[in-house]
Amino acid sequence: EPEVTQTPSHQVTQMGQEVILRCVPISNHLYFYWYRQILGQKVEFLVSFYNNEISEKSEIFDDQFSVERPDGSNFTLKIRSTKLEDSAMYFCASSAQRGANEKLFFGSGTQLSVL
Amino acid sequence: AQSVTQPDIHITVSEGASLELRCNYSYGATPYLFWYVQSPGQGLQLLLKYFSGDTLVQGIKGFEAEFKRSQSSFNLRKPSVHWSDAAEYFCAVTGSGTYKYIFGTGTRLKVLA
């Protein structure tokens, strides 16, 4: 089965530093997402991206966050100035369709630790 | 408020026993419901989904779930659990007009040999 690939699997950074989390969605997919899961808490929606623009974002996705699809294959999440509370597992997901045939494929995640 | 509740944080069953994982949702519009499974070090994998029609849906790995609108529930069942089913299970809801999935906190399943 095709896979969503995320790199790195673990990222450690100092508070205030910028991080970029990378994802390679499945090649014919059109809809892209970032979710995160703080340890012991729910998986939370951050942002969705379609047709080269943000289609929806949550209140978590503030000005410190941005997403980009720079080259037609990668999909990145940038956190400009990390905070301790950004420590979480970040999941990328993609889907080919919306509606009844919608199926999200998730990557295995990037564990971000902010020190 | 829109939410998903999975009341059981941990469940332990013996191999071969039946399984039911509970999921209750609160959603203002017509819900689309999902169950995902996450094995250690893996991403979330879709087990099954309900959009409309038959309220009993079949999924992969022998799982099924039943949508009960009157109870706002979407419980996951399996008649006979295998050791390889040990994982974390997430229920999620979304609706038309939004890209956002709302997840529950998950239920960690342990299977005893």
Question: A22-76, pLDDT tens digit by residue?
Answer: 999 999 999 999 999 998 888 999 999 999 999 999 999 999 999 999 888 899 9
Domain assignment present for A54: yes
Residue A112: inside a domain: no
B27 touches chain A (CB under 8 A): no
Say yes or no for a CB contact (<8 Å) between B101 and A104: yes
pLDDT at residue A45 in the model: 96
User: Does residue A44 lie in a domain region?
Assistant: yes
B9: CATH: 2.60.40.10
Question: For B82-102, b where at least 16 C-beta lie within 10 A, e where not — what string?
Answer: eeebbbbbbbbbbbeeebbbb
Nearest to B106 by CA among B23, B50, B43: B23
CATH number of the domain within which A45 lies: 2.60.40.10
Q: Is residue A109 part of a domain?
A: no
Going by pLDDT thresholds of 50, 70 and 90, the confidence category of residue A102 is confident
Number of domains within chain A: 1
**Nearest C-alpha of chain B: how many angstroms from A24?**
14
State how far residue B65 is from chain A, nearest Cα, in angstroms. Answer: 17
Chain B CB contacts of A109 below 8 Å: 43
Q: How many CB atoms lie within 10 A of CB B9?
A: 11
- Its domain, for residue B70, covers 3-112
How close is the nearest chain B Cα to the Cα of A18, in Å?
24
